[in-house]
Structure 1
Amino acid sequence: MFDVVLVAPEIAPNTGNVARTCAVTGARLHLVRPLGFRLSDRLLKRAGLDYWAHVAWQVHDTWDDLLAALPGARFCYLDPRGSLWYSQMDFAPGDVLVFGSESRGLPPGLMEERPGPVLRVPMRPGLRSLNLASTVALVLYEAYRQQGFPGMT
């Protein structure tokens, strides 16, 4: 129902935890290179446990490759400078939730290639961000909540 995109993720355990979240929700996971780890990394596998077999996931060499794989989909970007709280967004089946790397966020100009709503997670002033895996879980579960958690018990 939803796609999760990690652009240039840097930390293997975060990506493993995101994969686990995608497995339990049924979301598809897309990783856009460069990756800050090897796909054979033991920490990636450990964080994802035996859930990797239950995740539909794909690695894209470039942002353009990702765009070609998801034509016509609405992209929703998560960025601390977003104009809407994630909870104010009306998510729809097929939405693509796009998250940037742990240390740099989304690359400049990326959102201009496929415009879409830019969302943020409310936080206390002066703090940079929430953990990537936590943010993905928070936003993805809100999107599924709005749809009535289809296929979940």
Structure 2
Amino acid sequence: MNTGSTASPTRFRLALYQPDIAGNTGAILRLGACLGVGVDVIGPAGFDFSDRALKRAGMDYLAMAALARHDDWRSFEENRKAEGRRLILFTTTGDTPYTRFEYRPGDTLLFGRESSGAPEEVHAAAAARLLIPMPGSGRSLNLAMSAAMAAGEAMRQVSTIAPS
């Protein structure tokens, strides 16, 4: 089920695999709305995914977000493949730093669950598994922070921001 406006088909998309935390999902919807980037949410989510709950998490940005809801991994994959989008997974077990990867317009940048990441079937479907290096002592970054960092690098590389 799709809600909201549509983002440019040539831009990349952000995708969340079974997100656990409504606040992170809301922040990523806001990020997508502000950058003109579509957001896919692959269910089931670990929180109430009703329009009321999303409005609370995404504040007034939900109406501007190009949100696509997918009941499960299978329906997401069918849609992604039909659109010809390359799947790029961000994971703490990635083998390539996200800043050393060559993004292309149309890529889907996928992030796993906050609590457990993504299962092996999701890893197997990815064209690349990227890592955000963390030279500090933290275990992992917040999901919304990771999505923002990835979106910034993808936008920089594919020049989706018009020069001023």
Task: Give the structure-2-normalised TM-score.
Answer: 0.85
Q: What root-mean-square deviation, in Å, do the aligned CA atoms of Structure 1 and Structure 2 show?
A: 1.9
2:72 maps to: 62
Distance in 1 between residues matched to 2:52 and 2:154, nearest whole Å? 30
Of residues 130, 133, 136 in structure 2, which corresponds to 1:122? Answer: 133
CA contact (8 A) 2:91 2:129 kept: yes
1:30 maps to: 40
CA contact (8 A) 2:12 2:37 kept: yes
Report SS of the residue matched to 1:4.
Answer: strand
2:59 maps to: 49
Distance in 2 between residues matched to 1:41 and 1:10, nearest whole Å? 16
1:93 maps to 2:105: yes
Corresponding pairs, count: 152
CA contact (8 A) 2:38 2:67 kept: yes
Gaps of 5+ in 2: 1-10
**1:101 Cα deviation from its structure 2 partner:** 0.6
- Closer, same or farther: CA 59–147 of 1 in aligned 2, 3 Å: same
1:5 maps to 2:15: yes
2:8 maps to: none
1:40 maps to: 50
Distance in 1 between residues matched to 2:113 and 2:57, nearest whole Å? 17
Report SS of the residue matched to 2:89.
Answer: strand
**1:41 Cα deviation from its structure 2 partner:** 7.1
**1:149 Cα deviation from its structure 2 partner:** 3.3
My pick for the range that moved more, 49-58 or 119-128, is 119-128
CA contact (8 A) 1:13 1:44 kept: no
Percent same amino acid among aligned pairs? Answer: 38
Distance in 1 between residues matched to 2:136 and 2:74, nearest whole Å? 34
Distance in 2 between residues matched to 1:66 and 1:152, nearest whole Å? 33
Aligned partner letter, 2:25: T
